[in-house]
Amino acid sequence: MKTTRRQFMAGSAAATAGMVLAQGASAEETSNGNRPNIVLLFADDAGYGDLSCYGHPTIHTPKLDELASEGTRFTSFYVNPSCTPARAALLTGRHPVRPGGVAGVLGPGSTSGLPADEITIATALKGEGYRTKCVGKWHLGHAEEEFMPTSHGFDEYFGLLYSNDMIPPWVDTDEPLELYRDTEPIEHPVDQYTVTTRYTEEAVKFIHESADDSFFLYLPYTMPHLPLATAEQFEGQSRAGLYGDVIEALDWSAGEIMDALREAGVADNTLVIWLSDNGPWINMPDRMLQEGPDGLVNKPWHAGSPGPFREAKGTTYEGGVRVPTIVWWPDEVPSGRIIQEPANSMDLFTSILRACGADVPDDRPIDGNDLWPLLRGETEESPTQVHHYFNGGQLQAVRQGPWKLRLASGEPELFHLDRDYMERFNVAEDYPDRVEELRALMEEMAEETGASIP
């Protein structure tokens, strides 16, 4: 760890000084007049079709189903197709390919990370007096102190610094996978069977300790990323096998957190969001099909469901980037509503900050839009009318309204996602003008961000 605390604090002060309050929904405009608490639950590799409220026939998720019925769920919510960029986009509201972002997946030996001058949700909310904690998988850098969660606005951290498969035999590395508290490792090797339950215990404790304050809890789960593991109490409980057991453990975790919010008396003033970082790993490489330490075994069926969509994690087809997303906030978000309009994880950055009365940066491009008029039902139109699909440093596709142009497969692929959400019928030859319009949008964004186009 080379960055000193003094150097980091100077960088943070400079970043905070560059922010101004943007117009939009603020804490004073909520129905109860109080700043909301924020609970952001972020699954790892869960597919669009993995929850029963999103159509899974054998996985039972009653707690998340209840959250969806009492809140609002999206059917066209987008993320990046891989782990690290998905986290960077969520926390900063910016395309990770932009300067300062993290566009590639980091590994145990990575020397880069999210720079200290990037402004995260936690940075902004901490500046407003919020208590902040990250529990779970970080995956935004660890080689320097400036990359760690506690250098990005989080008062406390408990979790794994990168993916749980980044150990032999699945990854060739001498770096140990360790469980961290703040900036110090506390467990090696990691008991992966209990990470979900221990994350939940940490989250519940933080909620009770913070009940008298405004707080932000970010819980990026390790599961259901391979290798799958779950506590004994969940083993064999799902008809969908081990994968189902793991998802049902995440459902239990969401239920425990909701119970803690109610017990602490803060549920009605808490915005809860549940989503996944990308689609399921149904295209896992052969290296993963080896027996690992501590009885961990991966099988081809240890992966989730993209639902009705094409392909999976690591691709810019819909199955890789469209994820289940639930938003819950009593009296602010209508219950039982389904939003079919497109939105993305970067929109959560702007929307959360505005809900909390926090500053939205104006000294850098922010790609997230304010979703509150859409979420509150004041409009049926999403502010995100154009969505760009990045994969690493490439801009591979764009969506405008129902039309999607994808250039990653050689010949242009044009899909009408309202009529053909499975992306089976390429109609590029039938609509050449549409192809050129969308290509122009991609070229404009590529020039702005420095991305390449296939």
In a domain, 221, yes or no: yes
DSSP assignment string, 73-92: EESSEE--SSHHHHHHHHHH
Q: Are residues 221 and 131 in the same domain?
A: yes
The tokens 């390449």 sit on which residue?
452
Length of the chain: 454
* pLDDT > 60? residue 107: yes
Reading the block at residue 315, the tokens are 């691709």
In a domain, 140, yes or no: yes
The tokens 């940075």 sit on which residue?
123
pLDDT digits (tens, 9 = 90+) for 127-181: 999 999 999 999 999 999 999 999 999 999 999 999 999 999 999 999 999 999 9
Looking at the structure of the chain, the number of domains it has is 2
pTM, 2 dp: 0.93
Q: Give yes or no for a contact between 321 and 89, defined as CB atoms under 8 angstroms apart.
A: no
What are the φ/ψ torsions at residue 398 (nearest 5 degrees)?
A: -145, 145
Torsion angle of the four alpha carbons 198, 38, 90, 303, in this order, in degrees rounded to the nearest 10: 40
87-102 mean pLDDT:
95
Q: Are residues 275 and 334 in the same domain?
A: yes
Q: Are residues 95 and 170 in the same domain?
A: yes
Q: Which of 332, 352, 383 is the last residue of a domain?
A: 383
Q: Are residues 272 and 349 in the same domain?
A: yes
In a domain, 1, yes or no: no
320-324 mean pLDDT:
98
* pLDDT > 60? residue 8: no
CATH number at residue 283: 3.40.720.10
pLDDT digits (tens, 9 = 90+) for 325-343: 999 999 999 999 999 999 9
CATH number at residue 445: 3.30.1120.10
Is there a catalytic annotation at residue 134?
Answer: no
Q: Which of 349, 364, 383 is the last residue of a domain?
A: 383
Q: Which of 56, 83, 134, 225 is catalytic?
A: 83
Q: Are residues 377 and 419 in the same domain?
A: no
In a domain, 11, yes or no: no
In a domain, 332, yes or no: yes
Tell me, what's the pLDDT at 99? 85
How much of the chain exceeds pLDDT 90, in percent? 91
pLDDT digits (tens, 9 = 90+) for 410-446: 899 999 999 999 999 999 999 999 999 999 999 999 9
302-309 mean pLDDT:
97
Is there a catalytic annotation at residue 356?
Answer: no
Q: Are residues 423 and 290 in the same domain?
A: no
In a domain, 9, yes or no: no
Nearest to 272 by CA among 326, 223, 322, 215: 326
Q: Are residues 299 and 442 in the same domain?
A: no
288-310 mean pLDDT:
96
Which DSSP symbol is given to 452? B
Largest CA distance in the chain: 60
Q: Are residues 359 and 426 in the same domain?
A: no
Q: Which of 383, 404, 437 is the last residue of a domain?
A: 383
Tell me, what's the pLDDT at 367? 98
pLDDT digits (tens, 9 = 90+) for 338-376: 999 999 999 999 999 999 999 899 999 999 999 999 999
The CA distance from 324 to 78, in Å, is 9
pLDDT digits (tens, 9 = 90+) for 249-278: 999 999 999 999 999 999 999 999 999 999
201-211 mean pLDDT:
98
Tell me, what's the pLDDT at 33? 53
Tell me, what's the pLDDT at 2? 35
* pLDDT > 90? residue 390: yes
What are the φ/ψ torsions at residue 357 (nearest 5 degrees)?
A: 70, 20
In a domain, 134, yes or no: yes
* pLDDT > 80? residue 27: no
Tell me, what's the pLDDT at 21? 36
Q: Are residues 162 and 294 in the same domain?
A: yes
Residue-number span of the structural domain to which 406 is assigned: 393-449
Q: Which of 56, 95, 139, 225 is catalytic?
A: 139
The pLDDT mean for the chain works out to 93
Cα first-last separation, the chain: 37
Q: Are residues 409 and 351 in the same domain?
A: no
Q: Comparing 34-38, 98-102, 140-144, 244-248, which segment has the lowest mean pLDDT?
A: 98-102
In a domain, 10, yes or no: no
Q: Are residues 414 and 297 in the same domain?
A: no
Q: Are residues 366 and 416 in the same domain?
A: no
